[in-house]
Amino acid sequence: MKHGAIFKALMIVGAAISATLVCASAAFAQGCALCYTDAAATGPHAEAALRHGILILMIPATLIVVGFFLLLCLRRNVHRESLEHVSAANPPASSNPSEIVLHLN
């Protein structure tokens, strides 16, 4: 990977993190007055339980998203590699360039 591409990717990630930190107060308080008053009326133990519950519920969603992108990164060249393998093993039967041959493996 070129240094320019790495720098560009780091700049994009840095901008995304900065935007997230700037908007953090809006993300933590959705503006629901009923939810806010109910949470504020409870004691400190219930508030801590709500905070822990939110964090625990974020774990599966984060794992699903990270797993999806990991799967995409790992399998990004599978189609290209399978086409190279098929074309090397089975040369085209005809010289007609408009003919499409479908190989089902």
Q: What's the pLDDT tens digit per position in 20-48?
A: 777 766 556 556 777 777 777 888 888 88
Helix (H) or strand (E) holding 1, with range, is none
Report residues of the chain scoring pLDDT below 50: none
Closest CA to 104 of 88, 89, 86, 91: 86
Looking at residue 26, its pLDDT comes to: 58
Looking at residue 44, its pLDDT comes to: 86
d(CA 86, CA 78): 12
Confidence (pTM): 0.43
Looking at residue 50, its pLDDT comes to: 85
Q: Which residues have C-beta within 8 Å of that of residue 29, sequence separation ≥ 6? A: 36
d(CA 105, CA 103): 6
CA atoms within 13 A on the CB side of 32: 9
